[in-house]
Amino acid sequence: MFCRLTFCLLVTLVTLAIPSQLSAELAWSPDTGWRIEGGALSGLTGLGGRNALDLMNKAREKEEKGNYSSALKTYKKVIKKYNTSIYTPEALYRSSKLYLKRKQYAKSFDAFSQIITRYPNTPRFNEIIGEQYRIASALLDGARTYYWGWMPGLPDRPKGIEQFERILLAAPYSDYAPLALMNIARGYQRLHNDIFAIDALDRMINNHPQSLLSSDAYLKLAQTHASLVQGPQYDQAATQEAITYFQDFMILFPGNPNVAAAETGLADMRTMMARSKITMADFYFYKRDNFTAARVFYNEAITVYPDSDVADIARERLREVKAKAAKLLPETESDDSEKAPKKKKRFFFF
- 133-155 pLDDT, tens digit per residue, is 999 999 999 999 998 888 888 88
pLDDT digit string, tens, across residues 60-70? 999 999 999 99
| Separation between Cα atoms, residue 124 and residue 118, nearest integer Å | 13
- The pLDDT confidence band at residue 21, using thresholds 50, 70 and 90, is very low
pLDDT reported for residue 19: 41
pTM: 0.81
Rounded mean pLDDT of 336-341? 50
Q: Would you list the DSSP string of 304-335?
A: HSTTSHHHHHHHHHHHHHHHHHHHH-HHHHS-
pLDDT reported for residue 27: 81
pLDDT reported for residue 12: 44
Rounded mean pLDDT of 23-38? 71
Q: What is the mean pLDDT of the chain?
A: 86
Q: How many residues does the chain have?
A: 350
pLDDT reported for residue 62: 94
Helical residues (DSSP H) of 175-258, grouped into ranges = 176-190, 194-207, 214-227, 237-252
Q: By the 8 A CB rule, do 100 and 108 touch? A: yes
Residue 8 pLDDT greater than 90, yes or no = no
Chain centroid to CA 117: 22
pLDDT reported for residue 346: 59
| Separation between Cα atoms, residue 7 and residue 39, nearest integer Å | 23
Residue 104: name the closest of 112, 96, 94 by CA: 96
> What's the angle, vertex CA 160, arms to CA 154 and CA 162, rounded to 5?
120
- The pLDDT confidence band at residue 83, using thresholds 50, 70 and 90, is confident
Rounded mean pLDDT of 238-250? 97
Q: At what angle do helices 259-282 and 237-252 cross, to 10 degrees?
A: 150
* More confident call, 89 vs 43: 89
Q: 52: buried, middle or exposed (CB in 10 Å: 19+, 13-18, 0-12)?
A: buried
pLDDT reported for residue 213: 96
Q: At what angle do helices 214-227 and 237-252 cross, to 10 degrees?
A: 160
- The pLDDT confidence band at residue 50, using thresholds 50, 70 and 90, is confident
pLDDT reported for residue 249: 97
- The pLDDT confidence band at residue 59, using thresholds 50, 70 and 90, is very high
Half-sphere exposure of 127 toward its Cβ, with a 13 Å CA cutoff? Answer: 8
Residue 340 pLDDT greater than 80, yes or no = no
| Separation between Cα atoms, residue 29 and residue 11, nearest integer Å | 36
- The pLDDT confidence band at residue 292, using thresholds 50, 70 and 90, is very high
pLDDT reported for residue 308: 93
Work out the percent of the chain whose per-residue pLDDT is above 70. 83
Q: By the 8 A CB rule, do 221 and 205 touch? A: yes
Q: DSSP character for 106?
A: H
Residue 6 pLDDT greater than 70, yes or no = no
pLDDT reported for residue 16: 41
Rounded mean pLDDT of 185-214? 96
pLDDT digit string, tens, across residues 308-335? 999 999 999 999 999 998 888 665 544 4
Q: What three-state secondary structure class fits 144?
A: strand
pLDDT digit string, tens, across residues 114-124? 999 999 999 99
* More confident call, 49 vs 338: 49
- The pLDDT confidence band at residue 9, using thresholds 50, 70 and 90, is very low
